């Protein structure tokens, strides 16, 4: 991720690392990704909405962060 929008929105997130619970997390609504494809060509792509939230959630895992680290509320049972 090389950029994220100033526009954010709260959303309820759960995680397989913490089964049965979910919490409210504020995430950027648009992100810009830079990566290399299977032929090693550099690509830049803008992702928005729920897909952007998923990328941020999974990128957090790579950095050792869980959604519980990004919420001020105690997780509650998933609905």
Which residues are the active-site residues?
58
Looking up tokens 């709260």, which residue turns up?
10
Q: How many C-beta neighbours within 10 Å does residue 8 have?
A: 13
CA 72 from chain centre, in angstroms, equals 16
Q: Are 30 and 74 in contact (CB under 8 A)?
A: no
């Amino acid at each position: 991720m090389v950029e994220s929008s100033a526009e954010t929105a709260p959303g309820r997130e759960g995680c397989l690392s913490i089964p049965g619970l979910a919490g409210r997390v504020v995430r950027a609504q648009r992100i810009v990704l830079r990566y290399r494809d299977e032929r090693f060509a550099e690509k830049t792509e803008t992702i928005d909405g729920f897909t952007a939230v998923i990328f941020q959630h999974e990128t957090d895992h790579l950095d050792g962060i869980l959604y519980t680290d990004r919420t001020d509320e105690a997780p509650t049972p998933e609905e």
